[in-house]
Amino acid sequence: MNRRRQHKKEPLLTGWRFVTVCCVIVLAFAALFARTAWIQVVSPDRLRMEGDMRSLRTTVTSTTRGMIMDRNGEELAVSVPVQAVWADPKQIHEEHSLDNEQAWHALADVLGLPRDKVLSRVDNPKRRFVYLQRQVTPAVAEYIRKLRLPGVHLRPEERRFYPTGEINAQIVGMTNIDGSGIEGIEKSFNEWLTAQAGERRVRKDRTGRIIEDLGVVAEARQANHIQLTIDQRLQALAYRSLKRASEYYRATSASLVMLDVRNGEILAMVNTPSFNPNNRSQYQTFRARNRAVTDTYEPGSTLKPLIVVSALENGVIKADSIVDTSPGWMRLGGKRVSDTRNLGAISVQTILQRSSNMGMVRMALQETPEQLTDTLYRFGLGIDSGTGLVGESSGLVPQRRRWSDIERATLSFGYGLTVTPLQLAQSYAILANGGVRYPLTIVKRDEAPAGEQVIPKQHADSVLQMLETVVGPGGTARKAAIPGYRVGGKTGTSRKAIAGGYGSDYVGVFAGMAPVSNPRLAMVVIMNEPQGDKYYGGDVAAPVFAEVMSGALQLLNIRPDGAQDEQFQLAGVGE
């Protein structure tokens, strides 16, 4: 027993193993300390960046596009809140959202899309964002929200709404699905109407709640509203009358422009055919064109008052001159120019009243081409009106080195040049305003602009008095007369040019102003290619002028100046 006790040994601690273990522990702590020091002291930015990537977010403030209003504040274009439906395909596949087939059927039905088409948009699990449908109504959005489909989300956006529909479609225009203007005022003033969204930097927790507001990244810029010179009451009246007449005469298109002669403001501008900008399925490019500023026509006899002004100004005639139109026709350059019958020696007033081509040719041949074209330019023909409307044409006033007699002759009764309805309306506004031209505008001005005297007042007034006889007995525009008001104007009927000459289609025009005693409004009505037996301006355009002008004078509370009203007032006083 003692021997066993003697052989029992105590355990020994091997020195090198102990040292090795201690070294490893010390090195591990040193590495951890070094790593901690590196992260916290030497290079802390990366850790902060990793944290920020998981918590920092930029939020965008909602913005609303500016409104478009008429001169009285009535809304013509507004933005309404809607929702966009979007999906996260990766989340859909990770959470097995597609297993709920009934809900996906309901989603496809409410969106009005085939189920296969909806599923094809979310079949790629690597994608994180895809639109299912834009601009859905609040009711549809609420239905989708109640489906509670994982991976299907809603986001707020705006949709442009046009309360007046097709009446103002070509003027106001419309926006695309992203809210950028693509037609009309929406396009011309897109930057002015567009708001700039503001951005804020925030910190969010894992549930998406904002726990810290870090400040503004970009300041928001509010949208601006636009107030047009259009009077919606007159616009609706003009569109209704023009549409009814164009359908009755089966015209290819028609346009009407009404101006305030005192300041150049456009009070009404309508075209047919039109479209409803709230229903994109009706959109066609030819319907969206604002024909009052884009389409040009040979004005025909409506140019004659301007040529008479030129003749008066250049001393060719006087207001009371007599012009011999016998024998009622002449041949120039192998071509015949004639009246419907021989009117003989007639006054300048009768030349306009009876629309004598021969009388106009006699005057025009005594002027130089430069004198004629200079007068037309001063009336605003052949130049841009400056309204800024999309697609506006400047028309064409011919410039030639050599003019033949037949070219001067045809120019005198409205052939060989082209004008827009807006330009022709401006010309008659200048006549009505004593020869003063105001810059045209479609946007309401804060202050009235300064006018420019472009033709002598006495000549403008003389021609205005002559134009009143055109609407009276013996004139070509008796259908343009308005009971109780003195009206002046001129009819025009021109054949449409085709390759190699003129075809069988016509353009019927009437341009006029009222009341003659104190002109306030100038208007042009154009019927393009009316079908049937009636195609003269006095038949197809003058009645539209009378209906719209009569309504406008009453709506604007403009006092009657006709002889009938004077007699009525005197009779009333006597009683």
Axis crossing angle, helix 138-147 with helix 101-111, rounded to the nearest 10 = 170
What contacts 489, CB < 8 A, 6 or more positions away? 428, 467, 470, 471, 477, 480, 510, 511, 512, 513, 542, 545
Cβ contact 256:269 at 8 Å: yes
Residue reference for tokens 């994109």? 280
End-to-end alpha-carbon separation of the chain, Å?
A: 161
Q: Which of the residues 301, 355, 356, 550 is marked catalytic?
A: 301
How many other C-beta atoms are found inside a 10 Å radius of the C-beta of residue 555?
A: 12
Q: How far apart are CA 292 and CA 395, in angstroms?
A: 12
HEC string of 182-251 equals: EEHHHHHCHHHHCCECCEEEEEECCCCCEEEEEEEEECCECCCCEEECCCHHHHHHHHHHHHHHHHHCCC
Two structure tokens written together for 372: 């004629």
* 3-state SS, residue 302: helix
Closest CA relative to residue 214, chosen from 200, 204, 194: 200
Helix (H) or strand (E) holding 253: strand 253-260
Give the pairing type, strands 226-227 and 452-453: unpaired
| CA distance linking residue 267 with residue 48, whole number of Å | 62
Q: How far apart are CA 412 and CA 258, in angstroms?
A: 25
The answer, yes or no, to whether the previous bond of 543 is cis (omega within 30 of 0) is no
For residues 544 and 550, give the distance between their C-alpha atoms in angstroms, rounded to a whole number. 10
Establish whether 517 is a catalytic residue. no
Q: By C-alpha distance, which of 452, 362, 472, 462 is closest to 409?
A: 362
| Short-list 383, 356, 365, 361, CA closest to 454 | 383
Separation between Cα atoms, residue 396 and residue 419, nearest integer Å:
7
All residues at 6 or more sequence positions from 18 whose CB lies less than 8 Å from its CB, including other chains: none
Distance, in Å, from the CA atom of 395 to the CA atom of 418, rounded to the nearest integer, reads: 5
- What per-residue string of b and e applies to 191-230 under the rule 16 or more CB within 10 Å gives b? eebbbeebebebbeeeeeeeeeeeeeeeeeeebeebbbbb
CB proximity list for 574: less than 8 A, separation 6 or greater? none
Residue 548 pairs in a beta bridge with none
3-state secondary structure of 117: helix
65: DSSP letter: P
- Give me the active site residues, please: 301
